[in-house]
Amino acid sequence: MAALEVDISGRAGSFAVAAAFRAEPGVTALFGRSGAGKSTILKMIAGTVRPERGRIAAGGRVLFDSETGSNLPPRARGIGFVFQEDRLFPHLSVRRNLTYARWAGRRTGMRAVEEVVALLGLKTYLDRYPETLSGGERQRVAIGRALLAEPQILLMDEPLSSLDRERRAEILPYLEAVADEARIPILYVSHDTDEVARLADRVVAIEAGRVVAAGTPAEILGHAGGEEDGPISFLDGEVVAFDAAYGTVLVETAGGPVELSANELPAGSRIRLRIGAGDIAIATAAHEGLSIRNQLRCEVEKVERRGNSAEVLLGFGQERLTARITAKSADALSLRPGLRVVALIKAISIERTRLLPTRYRGG
């Protein structure tokens, strides 16, 4: 399975871009605030905006190289593009929209139409027309159309941004299914932390047109929360036990075991956990007689004052957790780098964001 390699710089109008990263098969999220340049980078990869310098290649195929003058046109790059708007043909049925690249471009496809229809839950919509579908349903058709065009790379430019919260909740499980079975590099542009946490294998953080960090969702998204809710910590782990009597799951993470309230999951399942900064309390020692199920031994790495609150970065084995407490509490506990503490987290406060495919094993 071929990777996408990007090392480009250039301008789109007055906006400068300088980005270098590698995207393996699976989902790589380009993550950053609106206006950070994520969509411009996607357009340069797609060939609709030309970089000034650099190279873009996929599986030995050079899509762009400023030194040799290579610059394949968009239609020759083997790229599928899913936009913020569905861009379906209103006069065509769902079936004809899905298979457009095959009958209009006279292409033969390796991927079965029935496979994509089942993946995206579109079987009952095939004879309907776009105007009769909800926004989420239309976007599922747009994703299916892109997959059935047999792309070597799939670009998704904030495909949920035009949908309301209810429609987003409707389509996310289908995007997870696409992410789980992907055999090609998928670049997914978003500024939504939870969306990226649910879908991405790796995250490339973009600021002002530049790559500022790249890594796992846990590494990159840990400081990405808003001012109101605070940062969010993400832990990937493996289910080691399920307590049917109490409906709790024990997950082994790189930092240690964590317990959460969840439905039954088979031992060996890989899952991603989400913990809000406000759901983590800090003690200087473990305590008996508490209802809090998780007492995680950590080390303070950083304390940052934010007005009346303090954000505390905790080293939890090989993992990182961020807690938000009052500045008064931070001072009362004399929190400082190097201090060993205990993070207290209710099992019911930990959310499971995603059941991970086996390719996540081993990080």
For residue 167, tell me if it sits in a domain. yes
Q: What is the pLDDT of residue 242?
A: 93
Q: What is the pLDDT of residue 343?
A: 97
For residue 227, tell me if it sits in a domain. no
Nearest to 199 by CA among 227, 225, 221, 230: 221
Cα dihedral across residues 114, 118, 122, 124: positive or negative: positive
For residue 226, tell me if it sits in a domain. no
Instruction: Check residue 229 and report its DSSP letter.
Output: T
For residue 90, tell me if it sits in a domain. yes
Residues 169 and 311 both lie in one domain? no
Residues 320 and 278 both lie in one domain? yes
Confidence of residue 29 (pLDDT cuts 50, 70, 90): very high
Residues 172 and 243 both lie in one domain? no
Residues 176 and 109 both lie in one domain? yes
CB 147 within 8 A of CB 169: no
CB 47 within 8 A of CB 81: no
Helices and strands (H and E) in the chain: how many: 9, 21
Residues 155 and 246 both lie in one domain? no
Residues 191 and 251 both lie in one domain? no
Residues 192 and 327 both lie in one domain? no
pLDDT digits (tens, 9 = 90+) for 190-231: 988 888 988 998 999 999 999 999 998 888 886 555 445 578
CA distance 353 to 360: 14
Using only C-alpha atoms, what is the Rg of the chain?
Answer: 23
CB 221 within 8 A of CB 234: yes
Is the pLDDT score of 39 beyond 50? yes
Nearest to 211 by CA among 30, 28, 14: 30
Quick one: average pLDDT of 27-52? Answer: 93
Query: Which residue is listed with tokens 């789980």?
Result: 180
Using the 3D structure, point to which of 168, 188, 221 is the last residue of a domain: 221
Half-sphere exposure of 18 (CA within 13 A, CB side): 3
Is the pLDDT score of 362 beyond 50? no
CB 176 within 8 A of CB 189: no
Cα dihedral across residues 114, 120, 124, 130: positive or negative: negative
User: How remote is the C-alpha of 196 from its chain's centroid?
Assistant: 2
CB 14 within 8 A of CB 7: no
Quick one: average pLDDT of 19-42? Answer: 93
For residue 103, tell me if it sits in a domain. yes
Residues 329 and 181 both lie in one domain? no
User: How remote is the C-alpha of 302 from its chain's centroid?
Assistant: 26
CATH code, domain carrying 284: 2.40.50.100
Residues 207 and 243 both lie in one domain? no
Quick one: average pLDDT of 271-280? Answer: 92
Q: Give the range of the structural domain holding residue 293, as residue numbers without chain letter.
A: 232-360
Q: How many other CB atoms are there within 10 angstroms of residue 250's CB atom? A: 18
Residues 171 and 262 both lie in one domain? no
| Number of structural domains the chain divides into | 2
Using the 3D structure, point to which of 221, 245, 279 is the last residue of a domain: 221
Q: What is the pLDDT of residue 350?
A: 93
What percentage of residues in the chain have a pLDDT greater than 90?
65
Nearest to 143 by CA among 176, 110, 165: 176
| DSSP letter string, 15-43 | EEEEEEEEE-SEEEEEE--TTSSHHHHHH
Single-letter amino acid, residue 351: E
Quick one: average pLDDT of 311-324? Answer: 94
Half-sphere exposure of 179 (CA within 13 A, CB side): 26
CATH code, domain carrying 66: 3.40.50.300
Using the 3D structure, point to which of 221, 244, 279 is the last residue of a domain: 221
Residues 296 and 238 both lie in one domain? yes
For residue 75, tell me if it sits in a domain. yes
Nearest to 250 by CA among 233, 268, 277, 275: 268
Classify 230 as helix, strand or coil: coil
For residue 132, tell me if it sits in a domain. yes
Residues 179 and 236 both lie in one domain? no
For residue 111, tell me if it sits in a domain. yes
CB 346 within 8 A of CB 294: yes
